[in-house]
Amino acid sequence: MIKYLIIDDEAIAHDIIKGYCDLLPNLQLMKHCYDALEAFEYLNQHQVDLIFLDLNMPKLKGFEFLKTLNNPPKVIVTTAYSEYALEGYELNVVDYLLKPFGFDRFLKAINKAMQPTSKVSDVVSSQPVSQEERFFFRSNKKVIQVAINDILYAEAAGNYTKIVTIHETITIREKVSEVIQTLPAEAFVQVHKSFAVAVKHIHEIEGNRIKINDHLIPIGKTYKMNVNKLFNR
């Protein structure tokens, strides 16, 4: 369960964020805070996993509040001001949502927050992925929760992406390049402009093809180096 806090001086922002969170499992609202001082008092006595933080608030601005925290939880900034984005990333915020933001964009931020790191690389490391790590994918009018370790590969399908898992294939309205940016770098490797595969599910590599279960995945010439690096981990 991900325990979260909303810090925003506008009630409508609370309603929107909570409404989006209520559509997803495993998210628990701990408190509505309407200024940073209220949040500071709460965090002195309680722990949360995630904060939705507005920037332009009375008494104490969002980033000034964040700088006061010794061990801050993960933070998703929610603001109408794009000019503070650079400072936000310097403070290691998970994501920076510009108001008004829709559910699809919100979902991307949540997926980032659920991962141990938001840093992305084309080549995997040897660090294992926890069995508990999960993604939310929006397919048609449904939100589907998928365990990362169940994903076999992602495949481009025009402006859509097919997420092929052990149990099913999910088609989402998102480009494969965007999906690859959110998949954990320690578990997936891009092997073609249209494919990223889960390293743990690779059965064999022969020539320019990878076999995963009954699926054959092509290896693109420009991505051959990524595959070769798998042998040197």
d(CA 166, CA 180): 18
C-alpha–C-alpha distance, residues 59 and 94, integer Å: 24
> What DSSP letter does each residue of 187-228 carry, written as one string?
TEEEEETTEEEEGGG--EEETTEEEETTEEEE--GGGHHHHH
Instruction: Please indicate, yes or no, whether residues 73 and 171 belong to a single structural domain of this protein.
Output: no
Q: What domain range includes position 187?
A: 134-232
Cα separation, 105 vs 192, in Å, equals 26
Same domain, 75 and 108: yes
**Structure tokens that stand for 104 in this block:** 């699809």
Provide the pairing of β-strand 2-7 with 27-33: parallel
Domain co-membership, 79 together with 141: no
Q: pLDDT, tens digit, for every residue of 112-122?
A: 888 764 333 33
- The two three-digit tokens of residue 42, written as one number: 């709460």
Q: What percent of the chain has pLDDT over 70?
A: 90
Task: Tell me the average pLDDT of the chain.
Answer: 87
Flag whether 75 is in a domain: yes
**Residue 60 domain flag:** yes
Q: How many domains does the chain have?
A: 2
- Least confident stretch, 73-77, 133-137, 199-203: 133-137
- Encoding tokens for residue 76? 């998703």
CA distance 62 to 58: 9
* DSSP code, position 80: S
| pLDDT per residue as tens digits for the range 150-189 | 999 999 999 899 999 999 999 998 899 989 888 888 899 9
89 and 149: one domain? Answer: no
pLDDT for residue 27: 93
